[in-house]
Structure 1
């Protein structure tokens, strides 16, 4: 039994027509980034990581499995932000391009070529801890991209990313977003830059600092000495995630 045949048999273990797509956000070099996978046989198009839900697992279990396998991480901050179910979001030709030609008439593929509804989640991860895993059977690459410099995307994944970003922006006042995107300790300037990058606009330094300190979510640590002539900034860390 070859690899393609094995993969087709595995599909029998999944719930039909319901999938998960995940927007994995990371922050690196003052850029908000998204992890994208390049699939073989799709003419250079990229996609969000995701997949189908196994019959013997819940949605949360499926998402945890996918993310652990793709990033090597567990206990990831996750938010569900939408359901994507346009009638024509997945075409039969799209599916056939993914499957070796000798399996095009396989009855196990009929449901794959039909309508698929996707549950959209975003994940917040610390960039340096992620170890992107490539599936050699159907991936060409699995890489980070600047949110403002995305490649050509398949299906409706551009819309899914935009919706995920909009939701992340709305959540900034309600969730400790930086807790998951920043390293354990950081400067106030680094925290502000994260918020500015997500929002896509500059913020007043004094107003931002006052707001963060008034929220009583930060613990101030020792100063960060760099050897430069300017005044050394304090390091901070989040008290908790609540």
Structure 2
């Protein structure tokens, strides 16, 4: 306990010296795997309590640069689709558990906890990552990173459940004009893979023929001569995104799937 308290004191000193006070960043990191949309959560040391990954902004560091740096520290990735979606600034940001309950659950030293548990304004980002490429890493406060299915997220600390809910709503709304597919799928994929991704995010079924016709009509997919192997039925063709055309379609806001 004494060693942890000393480390905690060093962390507080570092925060006061090198980071902007009272402003934090929180991340809803989405990954798509085995037909499920997942969110990366961190478990706090010595507890069964979970929260979203977060970060702080260094002095003379741009907000966006701080977000990418913090995400790299948590995921090991440098090229990540990142979208700011909301700023959380309620006076009371303890939803599932009160501040006192939170302190008790986390076992933070009471004489020091107020130094890092005071009121923060948090900038929320959502990120889209290829599940298989992520090497999750916990931070000082946490000891485990785990992917959770979007429908099985437990009660989280602070207001982080609300963050996940709003991030998913934003993702669904922006699905029509953001380059989501090539950040959540492998480089090569089938049309059913792509449709499954959209259906999972939207939470609804899409007509197969209409979906395929619309996606091919955008001119952003390149059909390969390869077919997916190992299935019981006729092997579907593999596709990949023409990223240059996709970026142009993104700039023109010509994408729409519904």
Seen in structure 2, the aligned counterparts of structure 1 residues 5 and 96 have a Cα distance that, compared at 3 Å, is farther
Give the paired residue count.
236
Q: Give the C-alpha shift of residue 232 in structure 1.
A: 1.9
Contact 1:19 1:118 in 2 (8 A): yes
Unaligned runs of 5+ in 2: 248-258
Q: How far apart are residue 176 of structure 1 and its match?
A: 1.9
Distance 1:225 1:162 in 2: 35
Matched with 2:146 is 143
- 2:41 maps to what in 1? 36
| 1:231 equivalenced with 2:231 (yes/no) | no
Using the size of structure 1 for normalisation, the TM-score is: 0.90
**What residue number does 2:22 align with?**
17
In structure 2, distance between residues paired with 1:230 and 1:112: 56
Distance across 2 between alignment mates of 1:200 and 1:207: 17
Q: Judging changes above 3 Å, is the alpha-carbon distance between structure 1 residues 228 and 7 closer, same or farther for their aligned structure 2 residues?
A: closer
Residue 159 (structure 2) aligns with = 156
Q: Aligned-pair distance for 1:5?
A: 2.5
**1:16 touches 1:111 (CA, 8 Å); kept in 2?**
no
Aligned to 2:54: 50
Change (3 A) 1:62 1:234: same
Single out whichever of 4-13 and 62-71 deviates more from structure 2.
4-13
Whether 1:70 aligns to 2:74 is yes
Structure 1 unaligned residues grouped into runs of 5+: none
Q: After TM superposition, give the deviation of residue 236 of structure 1 in Å.
A: 0.5
* Distance in 2 between residues matched to 1:86 and 1:227, nearest whole Å: 52
Decide whether the 8 Å contact of 2:89 with 2:120 is kept in 1: yes
TM-score (norm 2): 0.85
Q: Does 1:6 align with 2:18?
A: no
Contact 1:64 1:74 in 2 (8 A): yes
1:17, CA displacement in angstroms? 1.1
Shift of 1:53: 1.2
